[in-house]
Structure 1
Amino acid sequence: MSLRKTKTPRVIQMEAVECGAAALCIVLAYYKCFVSLEELRITCGVSRDGVNAHQMLEAARYYGLEGDGYHATWENLAKVETPAILYWEFNHFVVLEKIRGEKVWINDPATGPKTVSLEELQKKFSGIVLFLKPSADFKKRGKDISLFSRCKERFAPAFGSLSYLFLLEIFALLLALTLPPLSKVFVDTFIQSSTPSWVAEFLWFIGVVMVVTGVVAWFKGRFANRLLVSLSIRFNTQFIKHLLSLPLSFFSQRFPGEVLNRISLNTRLATLFTQGIALTLLDVLLISLYAVIFFYYNQLIAFVGITAALFNLFLLYWINKTRVHAYARLQQEEAKTVGVSFDTLDNIETIKGVSSDSFFFARIAGHYTNSINALQSIGRKDVFLSTLSSLSVQLTNVILLAVGAWVVMQGEFTIGMLYAFQLLMNQFLAPFGRMVQFGADFQSLRVDIARVDDVLQHKIDPLVQPKDEEGKPEKLSGPLEFREVSFGYAPLEPPFISELTLTIQKGEKVGIVGPIGSGKSTLARLGSALYQPWEGRILLAGKELIHHLRESLKISLGSVDQEIKLFAATIYENIALWDHSVTEEMVEKAARQAELHEEIVRLPFGYQTKLLERGANLSQGQKQRLELARALLYQPSLLILDETLNSVDSDTEEKIFEHLKSLGSTILLISHRLSTVRLCDRIILMEQGKIVADGPHEELLKTSPLYQKLTTLELHH
């Protein structure tokens, strides 16, 4: 290892599971290969379970890095060429920059660059190091996007309003600059000598200045508040709209509670820009102006003021250098606390059933304690910063008074000039105090924008993108075709479904069976356009799914996933999903086809019965049939049902299937219950992402050993 510390760029992970991708992003950026963290999430195949060292090495080779993973002891790390990726606490990855004596420099994706002790390295290093360096095929790409560029892009539409606010700040500044000379005149003329004849006019002038100052301050505050509200609405609307337009793959890799926690960051960004940046830019101008005035009148006093100001700037750099780490940790711990709490309440029935209340309480309390610890860490630094800053101002005033008194005694200043200079000095130091605070907020700005941009920079779902040929939605009718379709969940791993070809004719009822993990649900989501294939094409009525109008797919394709999704709303709203074009007759017809209408009308409020969260006041079978009714609302020409009726009794299931047959729709039915799929025209048997058999129930019983095994297992259960 060289004696010089390797300085790697800061990359902050958005969630705990992407630490490996973030660590690789740091190493790539060090070698001038700038790849977005979102791209690396996909390349590494990050899921809610995270990523392992093997996936990271494969991703590194994809970008032209070479190297390998090694088992090592902490003593061996001093000889490792940096940057290197360390496995940390058996659940995290960090980047090693340097070991020197008892100090270890690491770049932690959770907090940023920091220094830890050699003792902490011994405790937390988990014995695996990944060493990566550019190969002959490595190519530099992209460029680092500065924070200024991100801010400029986001606030460009509000540039005019921000400029107007800046002008108001300048006007308020000019009014404030009249106070010191007026004070000098008052002290030197009215206190030290006889009262002049123009005293009334002078007092009237002071009164007018004070009134105008108050009016400008009121107008400035009112305009800033309206701008804050406007920006907050714009940012939140843009964020939520984009969030709802993202593909399913985005949400499958993230925790809902953590994503929702980012919505509040938009208001925080708007506040920082309307109340922080404009004022800070003005403070820079103010400091420059005051410095010129000081040097013009007295260089000694100017030296005192500027020395105090430089001391404040030193405090700003010193404290904020460590504060940013604590703030990033606070952001993540708060998000984890929200996510774990949301997950706990969402599964409260299971938790109560297995008597795990105390365990989950400890889990939430642990994350909450980490949040409090991170907040306290920030608080300690803020208290230290504000105390030193206040002490610096007081010390400056004392020194200024002493120096000023000496200058007055030398006859260079009047008492009025000294008093005016004290006012100027207070106005000169005030911007430094605000800049210190803004410097602290600026560190949070970097983290907040990264978390928001993780959503806004993600590509939207192809289905919601504008089509080349916009037209009137129409019900699609025709076969569903899979043509050499390949799909997987990790780009560097072999596809889960490989070169699958399947045609389901119009009106055909096809059942799909197979062992757990054979690809049945994945095939259903591909057919529902929730996932996009890596290779190959999926067509409906002779046209690729992603090229159809979204409204056409809405009325033509109905799908029910095995995970039930209900809203805390009325039964009617859960079926119609707030579509104002839906009539009561359509809702009732769909409920009858799902064999649910009679049970609904027996409820006290019928279709207006309010469901609890996730339909907690319905049975599992009722929930499944309610989702089926939602899928049948527009009488679709294609139905994709994934384990839709596994909680429904056989008689009701048979009645529902008769309704579906009379509908005349093409049906793709996925079920573990062979008694259900044997009612289909043909059955497709899948294993390890491939179709291994295709035919009617009787034929598969004779020709497929796997189907025979599945049938036997069902009979025994």
Structure 2
Amino acid sequence: MRLGADLLNLTGGKRVPLILQTEAAECGLAALAMVAGYHGLQCDLSGLRRQFSLSLKGMTLKTLIGMADQLGLAGRALRLDLEHVPQLHLPAILHWEMNHFVVLTKAGGGKYSISDPARGERVIGNDEFSRAFTGVALELRPTSNFKTADLRERLRITQLWTRIEGLGSALAQTVFLSLLLQAFVIASPFYLQIVIDDILPRFDLDLLAVLAVGFGLFALINGAAGALRQRLILTAGSLMGFQMAANLARHLLKLPIPYFEKRHAGDIISRFGSIIPIQSALTTGIVGAIIDGLMALVTLILMFFYSTLLGLIATAAVGVALAMRAALFPIMKARSAEAIVTQAKQDSYLIETVRGVTALRLAGAESDRHALWQNKMAETANAKLSLGRLSISFQLVNDVLFGIEHIVTIYLAARLAFDGGFSVGMIFAFLTYKQQFVTRATALADRWIEFRMLSLHLERLADIALTDQDRGFERQPFEAREGDFKGAIALDDIKFRYAPSEPYVLDGLSLNIAPGEHVAITGPSAGGKSTLVKIILGLMEPEAGEVLIDGEPLTKFGLTRYRKQVAAVMQDDQLFAGSLADNIALFDPKPDTDRVESCAKTAAIHDEIIRMPMRYETLVGDMGAALSGGQKQRVLLARALYRQPKILVLDEGTAHLDTELETRVSNAIASLNITRIVIAHRPETIRRASRAVLLAGGKIHRLELGGPPAMGQGDTIALVQKSP
């Protein structure tokens, strides 16, 4: 990877915007957004996701061409050799490393500028390009239907917090105290000038003592004001940071389940880190910008009061430094984004490694996994090195620029002193004011960069904050009332697929479940059973058809009302760090201990819990690591029963139990007289149901309990398939 002028755009022409993917399999969508942005259609991934549904399986080139066509871009797929790549119409989308899409923005001289949705912008050579490029490219050109527009949805800072009592007053006090501090800074050069020009030549010790005492008191006041200012900033920043993080976490927990399924945990966690620079910018940043701006203006006036020539020299040097900062900002933003994303990937990889350490130990694959993690860490280090090298290069030029400016200023000031236009004290005072001006002006420019960089952090937070909440948290028609809920479920002609380019998982499925009925659903693996359960629970919306609860569409019935009556044990459910009682009551602020024990007895885990040294206060460890698979599953079942549901859904919820224990649990739940929907493969589990159905080919087929094995189902289900 190389950082150079190849990535700078100093001509003011069109530039390919860098858009980094958020979901695990949306590199094609991000690449399409970058090319569309280059041609004038500025769009973000959240908007494209709403327009084009994607699954975790990614997309094909054919799908990508279809999406481009809907945006008004004509696609032309090519297969070409390396020597023909510079002839492509750029920017072009390249198929990369057999499982990825990137955007080629420049090619020539053995160098290729790549905008990678996963890693950011980089320049690579022939060898690396040849290894990664599969030979397939997609050229995109605007058609007559293409329209330029800015469709990006931006997150406003004010959307991250509600009203904070006393924040405005604290910031106003901070500004006042900061101005008081600057008065000492402005007065100090006068003290130096008076001492050098008036006191030293006359040996006036009395005046020196008076000045020393006066400025000493000023220094004490200055120190006290500085300490108070820091306390105000600390308090305001803590309040703001706490509220932003709390609001974002509250919204995150209300997002649809597919949001979490399509993202890595480390990436989601890393987005909360973007709160810190926003908090800093809104407290120290705003106050600092106000003070730096005022001080730069005051010291500029004072410099010109001393000498117009010397003031112009300092102003010119600062102007050059500001121009360099502005020119480097786009690449600094891109490099910062790359560093953040690679760090998030490294963290996600480490989290996955820790979670799967048992599998690694059994396979003896620790070294291989460690090597792969080192590769992730190297990518992070390289991204940070690129950003660091850019900063070092800029600082070098900046230091040389102001070093030369300082030498020229001293030389000309000395010439003015020789001519009688400056005294020695005036030289010292001017240099002090000049240094203050340079420091404040460059600090103001840095604040400007900091505020501009907030767009990067707001974009990352927007992925959480601007994603629509799950429908269950929308305003509901009315609250549940005792006796309102009967629990009849009807699925009417349900169709569902994870993306328009994929086949239907559920295709015209219909199923009626009466209140109190025990229904077993079986079928081949990956046949859509868990998807069906999620639709029944309201975790996913069908593409077509309706879910009816007590004869009303679920959307009208109200998800909040519905979920108060439903509980489930899903395949991927986990326990949380805490005690067994905490987990059964799901950390209820006012747990009912009698109900906790009753649910544990129903789930056949009570006897084992009371044999533990700490009984219900026994800690379960991280994600239930202290429990066996069967114990964990029964605690999860007790947790579901604690909610006193009218409908209980078990997606392989007793698969880890032996037949005898499963029978005990099933009989205990049957006595509760609630509706049960069970996903199962065991013949014994299926036979316990009052009705069994087979999910195959996206449709429901009736099954008759008992009899010989069905054709094609092996010995998994000893059931006879009938026609619907």
The TM-score normalised by the length of structure 1 is 0.90
Greater mean deviation of Cα atoms: 331-340 or 181-190: 181-190
| Cα pair 2:95 2:101 within 8 Å, conserved | yes
5 Å matches for 1:350-499?
Answer: 350-435=359-444, 437-438=446-447, 441=450, 445-470=454-479, 476-499=485-508
- Structure 1 residues 214 and 446 mapped into 2: Cα distance closer, same or farther (>3 Å)? same
Residue identity matched to 1:90: M
2:712 corresponds to: 709
Question: How far 1:538 moved relative to its partner?
Answer: 1.4
2:140 corresponds to: 132
> 286, 295, 300: which is aligned to 1:291?
300
| Cα pair 1:12 1:447 within 8 Å, conserved | no
| Cα pair 1:473 1:549 within 8 Å, conserved | no
Question: How far 1:557 moved relative to its partner?
Answer: 0.6
Residue identity matched to 1:81: H
Greater mean deviation of Cα atoms: 260-269 or 162-171: 162-171
| Cα pair 1:22 1:37 within 8 Å, conserved | yes
| Cα pair 2:489 2:514 within 8 Å, conserved | yes
Q: Distance in 1 between matches of 2:718 and 2:694?
A: 18
Question: How far 1:137 moved relative to its partner?
Answer: 4.2
Q: Distance in 2 between matches of 1:232 and 1:151?
A: 12
**1:622 has 2:631 as partner:** yes
- Structure 1 residues 298 and 144 mapped into 2: Cα distance closer, same or farther (>3 Å)? farther
Deviations 1:477-535 (Å, cap 9, x if unpaired)?
Answer: 23111122222211454542233221101111111111112211111111111112223
5 Å matches for 1:271-670?
Answer: 271-317=280-326, 320-435=329-444, 437-438=446-447, 441=450, 445-470=454-479, 476-548=485-557, 552-670=561-679
- Structure 1 residues 179 and 124 mapped into 2: Cα distance closer, same or farther (>3 Å)? same
Greater mean deviation of Cα atoms: 378-387 or 615-624: 378-387
Question: How far 1:236 moved relative to its partner?
Answer: 0.7
Question: How far 1:570 moved relative to its partner?
Answer: 1.2
- Structure 1 residues 280 and 710 mapped into 2: Cα distance closer, same or farther (>3 Å)? same
Secondary structure of 1:279's aligned partner: helix
Question: How far 1:280 moved relative to its partner?
Answer: 3.1
Residue identity matched to 2:73: L
Q: Distance in 2 between matches of 1:338 and 1:133?
A: 38
Q: Distance in 2 between matches of 1:344 and 1:554?
A: 34
Q: Distance in 1 between matches of 2:149 and 2:67?
A: 15
Deviations 1:436-455 (Å, cap 9, x if unpaired)?
Answer: 65466557533322211111
Unaligned runs of 5+ in 1: none
Question: How far 1:576 moved relative to its partner?
Answer: 0.6
Question: How far 1:342 moved relative to its partner?
Answer: 0.7
- Structure 1 residues 24 and 271 mapped into 2: Cα distance closer, same or farther (>3 Å)? same
Residue identity matched to 1:409: F
Question: How far 1:31 moved relative to its partner?
Answer: 3.7
- Structure 1 residues 372 and 78 mapped into 2: Cα distance closer, same or farther (>3 Å)? closer
Residue identity matched to 1:477: K
Question: How far 1:320 moved relative to its partner?
Answer: 4.7
Identity fraction in percent: 27
Question: How far 1:63 moved relative to its partner?
Answer: 3.2
- Structure 1 residues 574 and 295 mapped into 2: Cα distance closer, same or farther (>3 Å)? same
| Cα pair 1:674 1:711 within 8 Å, conserved | no
Unaligned runs of 5+ in 2: 1-10, 720-724
1:687 corresponds to: 696
Secondary structure of 2:67's aligned partner: helix
5 Å matches for 1:28-47?
Answer: 28-41=36-49, 43-47=51-55
1:83 corresponds to: 91
1:93 corresponds to: 101
| Cα pair 2:56 2:262 within 8 Å, conserved | yes
Q: Distance in 2 between matches of 1:98 and 1:351?
A: 42
Q: Distance in 2 between matches of 1:166 and 1:204?
A: 27
Deviations 1:202-230 (Å, cap 9, x if unpaired)?
Answer: 44442343233223222221111111111
Question: How far 1:247 moved relative to its partner?
Answer: 0.9
**1:244 has 2:229 as partner:** no
- Structure 1 residues 395 and 192 mapped into 2: Cα distance closer, same or farther (>3 Å)? farther
Greater mean deviation of Cα atoms: 370-379 or 152-161: 152-161
- Structure 1 residues 320 and 100 mapped into 2: Cα distance closer, same or farther (>3 Å)? same
Question: How far 1:157 moved relative to its partner?
Answer: 5.3
Greater mean deviation of Cα atoms: 378-387 or 612-621: 378-387
1:7 corresponds to: 15
- Structure 1 residues 205 and 334 mapped into 2: Cα distance closer, same or farther (>3 Å)? same
Secondary structure of 1:70's aligned partner: strand
Q: Distance in 2 between matches of 1:113 and 1:155?
A: 33
Residue identity matched to 2:227: W
Greater mean deviation of Cα atoms: 673-682 or 13-22: 13-22
- Structure 1 residues 472 and 432 mapped into 2: Cα distance closer, same or farther (>3 Å)? farther
> 38, 50, 66: which is aligned to 1:58?
66
Q: Distance in 1 between matches of 2:127 and 2:408?
A: 45
Greater mean deviation of Cα atoms: 396-405 or 113-122: 113-122
Greater mean deviation of Cα atoms: 20-29 or 117-126: 117-126
Residue identity matched to 1:19: C
Question: How far 1:297 moved relative to its partner?
Answer: 3.3
Q: Distance in 2 between matches of 1:472 and 1:200?
A: 84
| Cα pair 1:18 1:46 within 8 Å, conserved | yes
Residue identity matched to 2:713: L
Residue identity matched to 1:456: A
Greater mean deviation of Cα atoms: 339-348 or 314-323: 314-323
Q: Distance in 2 between matches of 1:270 and 1:665?
A: 50
RMSD: 3.0
| Cα pair 1:6 1:98 within 8 Å, conserved | no
Greater mean deviation of Cα atoms: 330-339 or 39-48: 39-48
Question: How far 1:553 moved relative to its partner?
Answer: 3.6
| Cα pair 1:45 1:492 within 8 Å, conserved | no
- Structure 1 residues 143 and 186 mapped into 2: Cα distance closer, same or farther (>3 Å)? farther
| Cα pair 1:557 1:636 within 8 Å, conserved | yes
| Cα pair 1:43 1:490 within 8 Å, conserved | no
- Structure 1 residues 495 and 61 mapped into 2: Cα distance closer, same or farther (>3 Å)? farther
Question: How far 1:427 moved relative to its partner?
Answer: 0.2
Deviations 1:625-673 (Å, cap 9, x if unpaired)?
Answer: 2211111123321111111112211112122222222211111111111
| Cα pair 2:47 2:152 within 8 Å, conserved | no
> 27, 32, 35: which is aligned to 1:24?
32
> 678, 683, 695: which is aligned to 2:687?
678
2:3 corresponds to: none
Greater mean deviation of Cα atoms: 64-73 or 195-204: 195-204
Q: Distance in 1 between matches of 2:126 and 2:364?
A: 42
| Cα pair 1:507 1:664 within 8 Å, conserved | yes
Secondary structure of 1:258's aligned partner: helix
Residue identity matched to 1:76: H
| Cα pair 1:479 1:541 within 8 Å, conserved | yes
Deviations 1:538-561 (Å, cap 9, x if unpaired)?
Answer: 122233434556664444111111
